[in-house]
Amino acid sequence: MFVGEKSSGKSSLISKLLGESVKEEMPTTTALEFKSGSKQKDDKSVKVNVYELGGGRVLSNLLSTVFLGNSIDSITIVLALDLSKPGNSIENLLFWLHTIK
């Protein structure tokens, strides 16, 4: 699960994770998007399911829909911070940590 403010690099990180090419102009994530891929680990193919929450804080309430009715063995949440605007980083970090909790 990738969360963070708009244009913080979530889509680029997901593309790199799944081995896709990263484009200079990534399309805007509209709401909650799902991608799937496979990674090799110890000579085994492991399926990777990735959710990305687009829209920043406006759509943060969609975060709970990922967890409803799913039996999830494990989940990793990646919080992307836009360090090109360092004055907002602490506030953004605290907001997302509270929302995830």
E-strand spans in the chain?
A: 2-4, 32-41, 44-53, 78-80
Phi then psi dihedrals of residue 84, to 5 deg: -75, -10
Of 22, 101, 98, 12, nearest to 54 (Cα)?
12
Instruction: Say yes or no to pLDDT of 96 above 80.
Output: yes
Instruction: Tell me how far apart the alpha carbons of residues 68 and 62 are, in angstroms, rounded to a whole number.
Output: 11
Quick one: average pLDDT of 66-84? 78
pLDDT tens for 1-53 read 899 998 888 999 999 988 888 888 888 888 889 999 888 888 898 888 899 99
Q: Domain residues for 91?
A: 2-100
Q: What is the pLDDT of residue 25?
A: 83
Q: Say yes or no to pLDDT of 73 above 90.
A: no
Domain of 43, CATH number, reads 3.40.50.300
How many domains is the chain partitioned into structurally?
A: 1
Contact call for residues 62 and 100 (beta carbons, < 8 A): no
